[in-house]
Structure 1
C-alpha cells in the first residue's frame, strides 16, 4: 500500500515541469501496477502502516486511479490554452492521494481526515477552472453542505474512541441504538451519495464544474457516501432493522421524482447530473436492505455508474467545446455531422439505461432482487424508475442526435483520436467487467 502512496507523492514535483502527458502515463502505469497488486483474499490484505484493503476498498481505489487518469486525457483544452496546467496536475495528484488514503485507511480518524481533505481539491477544480461566474455559488453549496453535515461525525468518532479506547475499523463492535447518533454518523454520507432532499448541491456543482470536476464528482465523490455507509453500517445493525424502511421509501420515491425532473432538463450536463441522483438513490435503497445482494449490487452499481456517468460528461464536454452551448435546443442533428461520435453516444446512453451487456444491468438486477425481497410493494416504484430511466436516456439521445442541425455549425470540426480513446476507455471496462463476476459470486 505504501509504495503507491510514495509513488503519488513523488509525482508532485513533476507536476510543475511541463510534463502534462508524462504524468498521465505515470497515472496509467500506477493503475496497471495496482491491478497486479490484487490478492484473491476476501479479508483485509496488503496491510502496511495504517493502510489496508478489502474487496470494497480495492475496487473503489482502482476506479479512482482510472477516472483520474482519464481526467487528464479529457482536459487537453486546458493544456492547449496554458490555463495553469501545472497547478491543475498538482490539484489532481493531491485529490488522488486523498481519495487513495480515504478508501484504504483502517483508522476511523484518518478516514474522516482524508474524507474531508478530498473536498478541497474538488472545490479548487470547480472555482478555478469552472465556466460561469455561478461557480462560486456552486462551490459554496458544496462546501457548506459537506462541512455542516460532517462535523457531527467527528464528534461521534471522538465518542467511539473514548468508549472503545481504539479507532480501528476492525474493533467497531458496539451496538448503538440512538437515532441522534445514527444521524451524526451518517448524515454526511447521505449528503455525499446524495439522498433525495439532500441532493441540491449536486446539479449546481456539476453544471458549473469543468469536465475534470464533473468526472471526479460523478466518478468518485458520490461513491464516498456509499463507501462510508457500508463501513459504518455495523454500528447500527440492530437499530437499522426498524429504521431502514423509511430510507428505502425516500430513496425509491425520490429516485422516481428525480427521473421525472430529468425529462424536463434542457441542459445536457444538468440531465446527466440528475440521472446520477436517480441511480445513487437505488444504491442507497440496496444498502439499506441489509443483505448480501444489496451490498454487492450497490458496489457494482457504484463502479458502473462511475464509468458510465463520467463518460457521458466527457461526451457533453466534447459537444460544448465545439458548439459553446450545452443546451439541447442547440445540440441537435449531431448524427448528420459526427456519426462516429453518435455511436459512442448510443453505447454510453444504452449503458446508462441498463441495457445488456453493461455492468449497470448486472447491478440493477442484483439491487432489484434485494429491494423486492425486502418488500414486494417496492416493485411499483422500481418499475417506474426503470421505465423513466429508459425515457430520459432516449430523450437525451434523440434530442441531441436527431433533428435539423443548428446553422451555426459551419465552424464545426471532427473528433480527435484522443476523444475516441477517452470514450472507449470508459465504455470497455463498463461492458467487459461482467465477465469477472466470479469475484463477487463466491460471496453471495
Structure 2
C-alpha cells in the first residue's frame, strides 16, 4: 500500500526536488532498518504517508494558501525532524528532535494562523512545551552521570531504577505533548488558531510523539516502584469522562474534535500505565488509528471552512447538507473514530479496556461511563453536519478530485490496517 501511494504521487508530481526528497526518505527506511524497532518503524511510515497526503492537500487548496511555499518548506522541515525522532537510538538526540519539532508548528501558527488569537495560542504551545523540557534534560543528565550513555539499548540492558523525583521530571514533558488532562490547555487553542494543515499535523503526528516517548521510557527504565503511575492512570480515566462531557457543550466543531483527541489520548495514557504488554499494544494501535481518523476529520472541517468561513455547528450544517459525497465521508470517518467493530480503533479499545480490567475489576464502572460518554459525543459529532438546523440561504458545493483521492487513500489504508490486525 505504501509503495502504491508513493508510485501514484511520484507519477503525477511535477516538483523534481520534492520527488528526490521523498525517494531519499523512503529508501532510508530500508537502509536504517536495523535501527528501527516495530514502534518506530510504524510511526515513521505513518509520518511519511501523512506528508504525501499533506502535499496533495496543499495543491488542492493552493488558492487559499497565500504562503504556499512557506507551508511546504515548514512541512519538509517537520518531516525531517520527526523522521530523526524515530531513527535515533539515543535519548539526548531524541530530546533535541522532540524540542525542535515544536519550532515548525510554532512558525506555522504564527505566519499561517487564521485569527489574531494565533499569537496567544502560539505562546501557550511554546510555554507548555519548553517549561517542562528543562526538567527532562536535568533528569537525563543525572543518569548520564551514572552510566555515561544515552543509548536506548544500553539503558535497557542496565535496567536502571529511577528515583521518584526523576521519574516525575522525565515523564512530564511527554504528558504535556500527549497531552494529559491538566496539561491539555494549549491543544484546543492550537487547533482552533491553526490552519487546516496545522491541525492535521498536531492530531496526526505531534501528539504521537508524547506517546512514543512514554513507550520508550517504559521500555528502557525500570518502573516497578513508580507509585505515581497509578495517579496518572486515574487522571487518564477521569480525563476520558470529563473531556467527553466537554465535547457535548461545544458549538465550535473544530474545538469539539480537539477535545475528543484529548479523550482518545487519555485512553492511550491508561493503556501505557496499565504496565501490561496488552495495554502497550493497544496504545500503539490507537496512536495509529487516531492518527488517521482524526486527521481526516480535521481535513474535512478545513474543506468546509474554506467554503463557508465558519466552524459553528449551526452554520456548517446548512452547507454540509448539500455536499452529499462529503456527508458520506464524514459519516465513514466518524464511525471509524467512534470505534466501530472490526476497525483498528475498535481493536485498540478492546486491548486497552482488557488491560484496564486486568489491573482491577473496580474499573468496570468507570469504563462504562467512558464508553457511554464517548458514544454520545461521537454520535453527536457524526450527525452534526448531516442534520440541517436552518433552511435558508442554502448553497450547493462539490468536492474536488484531489480531496476525494486523499479521503479514499486514507480509507483504503484504514481497511488494510484493519485486515492486517484481523490476521494478527
Q: TM-score, normalised by structure 1?
A: 0.87
Q: Which residue of 1 aligns with 2:273?
A: 288
RMSD: 2.2
1:413 deviation in Å? 2.4
Look up the SS of the partner of 2:33 in the other structure: strand
Give the Cα–Cα distance (whole angstroms) in 2 for the partners of residues 23 and 408 of structure 1. Answer: 45
Size of the aligned set, in residue pairs, is: 409
Equivalent residues in 2 for 1:174-213 (5 A)?
174-213=159-198
CA pair 31-72 structure 1, distance change in 2 beyond 3 A: same
Measured against aligned partners, the alpha-carbon deviations of 1:198-226 in whole angstroms (never above 9, x if no partner) come to 11110000111111111110001111111
Deviates further, 143-152 or 69-78: 69-78
CA separation in 1, counterparts of 2:53 and 2:82? Answer: 16
The residue correspondences of 1:4-19 to structure 2 (distance < 5 A) are: none
Shift of 1:279: 0.5
- Other-structure match for 1:325: 310
The equivalent of 1:128 in structure 2 is: 111
Residue 46 of structure 1 corresponds to which residue in structure 2? Answer: 33
The alpha-carbon deviation at position 382 of structure 1 amounts to: 1.6
| Cα deviation code 1:211-267 (max 9, x no counterpart) | 111111000111111111111123242122x33221111101111000000011101
- Indicate the SS of the match to 2:76: helix
Q: 1:335 to 1:319 in 2, by over 3 A?
A: closer
Superposition deviation, residue 179 in structure 1: 2.1
Kept after mapping to 2: 8 A contact 1:190/1:225: yes
Q: Distance in 1 between matches of 2:410 and 2:39?
A: 20
The one-character-per-residue Cα deviations of 1:277-336 (angstroms, maximum 9, x if unpaired) are 000100000000111101111000000000010000011111101111010010114564
1:243 to 200, 216, 228: 228
Query: Any residues of structure 2 matched to 1:39-188 within 5 Å, and which?
Result: 46-47=33-34, 52-76=35-59, 79-81=62-64, 83-172=66-155, 173-188=158-173
In structure 2, the CA distance between the partners of 1:423 and 1:26, relative to structure 1 (3 Å rule), is: farther
Gaps of 5+ in 2: 1-12
Alpha carbons of 1:358 and 1:438: their partners in 2 closer, same or farther (altered >3 Å)? closer
1:276-425 matches, cutoff 5 A: 276-334=261-319, 336-405=321-390, 407-410=392-395, 412-425=396-409
Partner Cα distance (1:344, 1:82) in 2: 24
Q: Secondary structure at the match of 2:89?
A: coil
TM-score (norm 2): 0.91
Q: State the distance in 2 between where 1:430 and 1:117 align.
A: 30
Moved more, 271-280 or 175-184: 175-184
Contact kept? 1:358, 1:432, Cα under 8 Å: no
